[in-house]
Chain A
Amino acid sequence: MVALAEKAVRQKTSRFQFILDRPTVLGPLFVSPAILYVFALVGLPFLLAIYYSVSAYTIYSQSYRFVGLRNFIDIVQNPIFLQTLVNTFIFTFGSQIIGLILGKFGALLLLRPFPGRKLVRGLIILPWAVPVALATVAWQWMFDSLYSVINWTLIAMGLLTRADAPNWLGNPHLAMLCVIIINGWRFFPFAIVIFLAGITAIPQDVLDAATVDGAGFWRRNYQIILPMIAPIVVVGLVFGIVFTFTDLSIVYLLTNGGPVNATSVLGFEGFQVGIVSGDVAHGAAISLFMLPVLFVLTIVMLRAIRRQEI
């Protein structure tokens, strides 16, 4: 005991020797790489984009001259931009609706036990996991004007004749439908995961109570399950909308915005104007146009779930 007590008397040490034991020092130290990373790769480009959007910068005349909101006024007066804006909304909400419907039904099917369910649950992730370029090329062949496997099947079944087979990517409306379908197809595994997570988190007692209380399949789904998983679904939907609203890969790979801008979306248009054409200032203005839209949308949805919170 005596020996222990003597050992406990420490020599005087520097007040900085245990500095890493303080949460107020160690915490910020650990978080700082992440903050620096986000600042360098997201914050700086974002500030730069804001600056570009109020300057007259093009790659041919690299002037940082401040022009105020001139660029924004220009693009709003451009009918192509307005069509792009409308396209973006149609593209985003169309593909989200397809994704949600497929996700809900897929989740309900995958909740039932059947042989090979684990395998199917794994494989269903593929559309989401496959590189978008690969998937889009595959879809491109399916929608091809000559070799479309969809048209071929419909003709073989006698539902169509060669003459009135649709030109999927050539018709403006059908082309928009195609990009929506592909994006919905890419999004639905994510929706399935979200729905599965939500539904499996509902206590069995609640579902049993609803069954005993006389609720059939539809009532259980729409009055019990959906309201209870609404918060998690809305969070998933916010993610889906943000990613789709800013996406340009499918449009770029499949239709290149065509035919005649029918499938051009904000991200694609910003890329075309700012990078391909070199008009960085207008490109930045187009891209930044997404920001307030997404901001308002996200706030509205997150407020909606807070009010709904259980």
Chain B
Amino acid sequence: MAAISTRDITKEFGGVAAVNGISLSVPDGEFMVLLGPSGCGKTTFLRIIAGLEKQTGGDVIIGGDVVNDIPPRARGIAMMFQSYGLYPHYKVRDNIAFPLRTQRVPRAEIEKKVDWASQLLGIDHLLDRRPRQLSGGERQRVALARALVREPTVLLLDEPLSNLDAKLRASARNEIKQFQQRVGTTTVYVTHDQVEAMGMGDRIAVIDHGRIRQVGSPAAIYDDPADRFVATFVGTPPMNLLACNGGHLGFRPENLLPRDMIEESEVTEFSFHVERAEYLGSERIVYGRVDGFESTQEITAKLPPAHVAQESIRPGEAHDFAVRNSALCHFDEHGNRVRRH
């Protein structure tokens, strides 16, 4: 087990900065998720930690040692790739054994460890198959077994669930999370999927354009976004933004409620013109605009259960809505959060 930290990592590809000064520290045993849109530099950053990519500037520190000039195999890391990177010409058994063979572990020891890892992930009945004979979920487990078999100090995961179907993804998410808690390996997990990030991460680092926008627990990221990017990137539908005093006023769709549902007095009221509604079973989302504010996007409101069943709010109507003042976020003209006490 080891803590990871990076100091001011930069990476340029032909003059274009993919990673633009990331300093991040992941304590021992933490599950850290790097969340960001595609092309934001999160995978490049992960590859720099792994040593597959050489940073243009900055330091990578694993377990207290600067590992800038240490090759990937000596960094004590294991990595799992988006398409798993299984060796197609090897059987599952040899795939899992490969990292041990490169380290010249004795044969008997290899056999023992392969058995251990395959039982841990419930793939011991697949050992004599080849990767092409496995389903997506099985391949993912084999890749995880291969990553874990040499008991790495750090586990790096690069969008490991993106090749699974939605149902499998949910259970695999759960498995990886439980597994990580059991083994306690320091883990860095890259994803563009906010559901994965919110559900799995002890902490989330939101990355955009090669920079960290915010690091915090899932709750902090969601309830207390540091800037407009984080506010609109996390959450479905995203946070509503209204132009206001040169900056923006933001509030989550579930906080925009019919006026009569809020009992507190410290509220901001809006007159909400409903344009269309979506019924999603457990919730009803209504789209529209509010009087007196400009907004580049449609304003959405997620109606609470009481309003889901009875269609009391219909397209074409105007209703009094309100947001608790405590649930409002203010952003300045640069998109940074303005705290008002």
Nearest residue (CB) in A for B84 is: A205
| Contacts A211-B72, A214-B73 given; does A203 touch B85 at CB 8 Å | yes
- Chain A residues near B78: list those with CB within 8 A: 212
Contact A205/B88 with A212-B52, A212-B73, A213-B98 known, Cβ cut-off 8 Å: no
Establish whether residues A228 and B89, one from each chain, have CB atoms under 8 Å apart when the complex forms. Answer: yes
Would B77 and A212 count as touching, CB distance under 8 A? yes
Residues of A within 8 A of B84 (CB): 205, 209
0/1 string, A190-213, CB within 8 A of B gives 1: 000000000000010111111111
> Which residues B53-89 have CB closer than 8 A to chain A?
72-73, 77-79, 81-89
On chain A, the residues within 8 Å of B146 by CB distance are: 209, 213
Asked whether A211 and B52 contact (CB < 8 A) given A205-B81, A205-B83, the answer is yes
A47 near B: Cβ within 8 Å? no
Q: Does B132 lie at the interface of the complex (its beta carbon under 8 Å from any beta carbon of A)?
A: yes
Q: Chain A 90-128 against B: per-residue CB contact (8 Å), 1 yes, 0 no?
A: 000000000000000000000000000000000000000
User: Restricting to A112-169, which residues have a CB under 8 Å from any CB of B?
Assistant: none
A214-B73, A214-B102, A310-B132 in contact; A209/B89 too (CB < 8 A)?
no
A228 partner residues in chain B, CB cutoff 8 A: 87-89
Q: For the complex, is A308 an interface residue (Cβ under 8 Å from B)?
A: yes
A209, A219, A308: the one contacting B85 at CB < 8 Å is A209
B72-114 contact mask (Cβ, 8 Å, vs A): 1 or 0: 1100011101111111110000000011001100000000000
A210 to B95, CA, bound (A): 10
Residues of A with C-beta under 8 A to B88: 206, 228, 310
- Chain A interface mostly helix, strand, loop or mixed? helix
Does B173 count as interface, using CB distance less than 8 angstroms?
Answer: no
- Decide if B85 touches A214 in the complex (CB within 8 Å): no
User: How far is B87's CA from A255's CA once the two chains are assembled, in angstroms?
Assistant: 48
Residue of B nearest to A310 (CB): B88
Bound-state CA distance A264–B146 (Å) is 55
What's the Cα separation between A212 and B86 when bound, in Å? 12
Q: Does B197 contact A (CB under 8 A)?
A: no
Query: CB-CB < 8 A to A294: which residues of B?
Result: none
**B85–A205 CB distance below 8 A:** yes
* A253 interface hit (Cβ, 8 Å): no
Q: Which residue of A lies closest to B152 (CB)?
A: A212
Kindly state the separation between the CA atoms of A206 and B77 in the bound complex, as whole angstroms.
Answer: 16
Is A206 a contact partner of B73 (Cβ separation < 8 A)? no
B213 at the interface (CB under 8 A from A): no
Instruction: Find out whether the CB atom of A310 lies under 8 angstroms from the CB atom of B79.
Output: no
User: Cβ of A215: which chain B residues have Cβ within 8 Å of it?
Assistant: 73, 98, 102
Chain B residue with minimal CB distance to A208? B52
A161 to B99 Cα, complex, angstroms: 55
Which residue numbers of A lie inside 8 Å of B, CB to CB?
Answer: 203, 205-216, 219, 224, 227-228, 308, 310
Which residues of B are interface residues toward A (Cβ below 8 A)? 47, 50-52, 72-73, 77-79, 81-89, 98-99, 102-103, 130, 132, 146
What are 28 of the A-B contact pairs (CB < 8 Å)? A203-B85, A205-B82, A205-B84, A206-B85, A206-B88, A208-B79, A208-B85, A209-B79, A209-B81, A209-B87, A210-B85, A210-B87, A211-B72, A212-B50, A212-B52, A212-B72, A212-B73, A212-B77, A214-B72, A214-B73, A215-B102, A216-B73, A216-B102, A219-B102, A228-B89, A310-B89, A310-B130, A310-B132
Q: Which 3 A/B pairs are nearest by Cβ-Cβ distance?
A: A209-B85, A205-B85, A214-B102
